[in-house]
Chain A
Amino acid sequence: MNLAFARRGRSRPGCAVLFCLALALTAGPALGDAVVADLSSHLIAISSGFTGASVVLFGATDGPGDIIAVVRGPEREMTVWRKGKLAGLWVNAESMTYSNVPSFYAVAASRPLDEALSPGAAALYRIGTANLKLESKLPLTGERVQRFAKALIEEQQRAGLISAEIRKIAFLGERLFRVEIFFPANVPTGDYRVEVFLAKDRDVVGGQTTPLRVEKVGIDAQVSDFASREAAAYGAIAVLTAVVAGWLASLPFRGV
């Protein structure tokens, strides 16, 4: 079960550390199935009337402890622009590009994060917006990178794509837990990972990763899929459709 941990963190600094830790966790005798969790659904289908969706994460632990769940959307390259005043107009003046921004990020926990986890553990597993470790695409460091990263996170929070608050995971008795995770209407598509951590004494002692897929379904999905795969054919069809529609539209005017 914990092998799933080895899949996290592709080619990122600290990945080796994570990998060793994952191995250590897997190898640890008593930690085998410290936590098991699953989702009420592994697919969020975006159809034409999509207004958001919620998925229930539930599971059990082998004993008392804290549960922290992290939902991560696929990482994207994002650019943050800062407007400045130029000749009386507000224009995009400065920009900073980050290569590893999670397109969606939400955290849920059974207790406030700083009570459930030590800062070191939270940083190691990249739990919480302070530990996203956004990397600038250009090899830059310093205050500007930090400032723009903060703005990027705030913007994503405003868009509902990075959760501003930590949802409360409820325990039913001592070992069963449950939490509802909400995905807004503008949720990005792709392969998500839902990571569930079991913490004892403010340190992670077990975990599990569950996949979640967000995809467009129905005619819309086919349209957008086709538009990106066969761009030329899509362009031609878009033109043809308009031509046919325009011709049909002119019929009632015949003889006018």
Chain B
Amino acid sequence: MSMSDTLRNRWLHLVLALALGGIFLYAAHDKVLDPRPLVTIIWGYRLIPPQLTNLIAIYLPWMEVLIGLGLVTGIARRAAAGWATVLLACFTTALMINAVRGIDVACGCFSTSAQDVQNAWLLALRDLPMLAAAAVLTFFPPRRRPPLRSAVPRSSP
């Protein structure tokens, strides 16, 4: 079995989607209920112009919810995984930039507390397995099962 076949395994996809979807839903919970503390966390990254921080805080939690729902329910799963890949790539890049700057940030990943400051390198490393999972779900869709009809020879009339 090739690597590509392994990555397209349906069961692997199901496990990755449920795990990643659960993580996204859990991460979105606090932010959806009240996105206001998120503004200060986004500002803390010092990467986004201040005028845009509110817009990100308004929409990002809902994107996380929809990604989580898509991954868990299977509705538009690849699209959800695609957005998860985009978001996780952005998060990881932002964390790495701050790690290089030597600034530990409150990541805002699972909490909206600006005091939840952690080592930026560790946070970036924590994101990498999730990014890999999202990339597998996006770029290696599971092979479709051959339709049952084709497997059973039709009897001639």
Q: Does chain A bind chain B?
A: no
Residues in B lying within 8 Å of A, measured CB to CB:
none
Residues in A lying within 8 Å of B, measured CB to CB:
none
